[in-house]
């Protein structure tokens, strides 16, 4: 019988980590040292999805899976847990968090016992997660109990701001509508301007943080993922800047040394071309 692909991957990872016959680079890695690669691979998955490149998505998902297998192998060598324990844990969590789909054994519930209201399902999911956070706090597996506990500090800052604000909003601490948040954004812009005028670097730092947090809240009220919006905004700038440089080069101008008005004129021309 042929070996299952996941089993082959686990075997390959174990061989790469072999102290005597494996890869020297793989052997010297630790759980902490490969974290940056894990984060990078997750973003590359997101990029492949955004571009709609299914072949690349397949490859990037493989790279991300490798990171999971790598971490699990290191943990197994330390005697902490194995890959199978990771898979079992997520299976148990999925069953526990979907009581409207599975019974305690993981068997499907009959259709008449399954709720169909997405809002009710989401509310039940949030209650289950809140209960899990409270249980972790009691057992010492979380920093503290509370509505904001458990939001990973490893998240990108904008994504974490979005998660934190959603938690606060879930208990009623929120602006009534997007217009009120927009007013808050304008208020924060004014405070940034004031601190810049006063020449207070620490205040500028703090006020820009407040401004970004308010913008994350505005995105939430508008139904926009702020992390995705920023990625797209950055990609748009990258595309236009590259086109601007190419336009100037075609006219015989190097980007470095080109006066700002000339760059601005080329930038506006690129924007017009996109809309044409």
Query: How big is the CA angle at 52 (ends 58 and 270), to the nearest 5 degrees?
Result: 140
- Output the pLDDT for position 244: 96
Task: Specify whether the CB–CB gap between 163 and 151 falls below 8 A.
Answer: yes
How do residues 69-106 score in pLDDT, each as one tens digit?
A: 999 999 999 999 999 999 999 999 999 999 889 988 89
| Mean pLDDT of all residues belonging to the chain | 91
Q: State the average pLDDT over residues 190-211.
A: 96
How do residues 259-268 score in pLDDT, each as one tens digit?
A: 999 999 999 9
- H helices present in the chain, as ranges: 5-16, 24-28, 35-51, 54-77, 83-97, 118-138, 157-170, 178-197, 201-221, 226-250, 260-275
Closest by CA position to 149, among listed 140, 177, 232: 140
Task: Specify whether the CB–CB gap between 4 and 44 falls below 8 A.
Answer: no
CA dihedral 33, 37, 43, 45 (to 10 degrees): -140
- Output the pLDDT for position 95: 93
Q: What are φ and ψ of residue 79, in 5° steps?
A: 80, 20
Q: State the average pLDDT over residues 222-237.
A: 93
- Output the pLDDT for position 29: 97
149: alpha, beta or left, given left = phi > 0 and alpha = psi -120 to 50? Answer: beta
Query: Looking at the predicted structure, is the pLDDT value of residue 142 above 80?
Result: no
- Output the pLDDT for position 1: 57
* 90 Cβ contact partners less than 8 Å away, ≥ 6 residues apart: none
Query: Looking at the predicted structure, is the pLDDT value of residue 145 above 60?
Result: no
Residue with tokens 């519930």, as numbered in its chain: 109
Closest by CA position to 13, among listed 81, 65, 89: 65
How do residues 20-72 score in pLDDT, each as one tens digit?
A: 999 999 999 999 999 989 989 998 998 899 889 999 999 999 999 999 999 99
- Output the pLDDT for position 236: 94
Q: State the average pLDDT over residues 235-256.
A: 94
Task: Specify whether the CB–CB gap between 137 and 144 falls below 8 A.
Answer: yes
Q: State the average pLDDT over residues 231-251.
A: 94
Task: Specify whether the CB–CB gap between 15 and 26 falls below 8 A.
Answer: no
What percentage of the chain reaches a pLDDT higher than 70? 96
Strand partners, 108: 102
* 241 Cβ contact partners less than 8 Å away, ≥ 6 residues apart: 267
For the whole model, what pTM was predicted? 0.67
């Amino acid at each position: 019988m042929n070996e299952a692909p996941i089993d082959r991957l686990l075997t390959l990872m174990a061989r790469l980590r072999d102290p005597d016959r494996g890869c020297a680079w793989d052997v010297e890695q630790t759980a902490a040292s490969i974290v940056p690669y894990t984060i990078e691979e997750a973003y590359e998955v997101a990029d492949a999805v955004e571009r709609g490149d299914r072949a690349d998505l397949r490859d990037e998902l493989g790279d991300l899976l490798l990171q999971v297998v790598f971490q699990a192998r290191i943990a197994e060598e330390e005697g902490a847990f194995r890959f199978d324990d990771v898979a079992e844990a997520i299976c148990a969590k999925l069953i526990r968090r979907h009581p409207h789909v599975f019974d305690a054994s993981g068997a499907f519930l009959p259709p008449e016992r399954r709720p169909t209201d997405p809002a009710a399902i989401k509310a039940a999911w949030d209650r289950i997660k809140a209960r899990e956070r409270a249980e972790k706090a009691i057992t010492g597996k979380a920093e503290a109990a509370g509505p904001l506990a458990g939001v990973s500090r490893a998240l990108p800052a904008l994504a974490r701001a979005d998660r934190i604000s959603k938690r606060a909003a879930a208990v009623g601490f929120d602006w009534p509508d997007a217009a009120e948040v927009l007013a808050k954004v304008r208020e924060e812009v004014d405070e940034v301007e004031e601190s810049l005028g006063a020449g207070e670097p620490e205040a500028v730092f703090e006020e820009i943080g407040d401004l970004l947090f308010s913008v994350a809240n505005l995105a939430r009220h508008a139904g926009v993922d702020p992390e995705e919006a920023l990625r797209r905004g950055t990609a748009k700038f990258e595309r236009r800047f590259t086109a601007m440089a190419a336009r100037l080069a075609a006219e015989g101008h190097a980007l470095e040394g080109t006066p700002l008005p000339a760059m601005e004129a080329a930038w506006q021309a690129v924007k017009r071309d996109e809309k044409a």
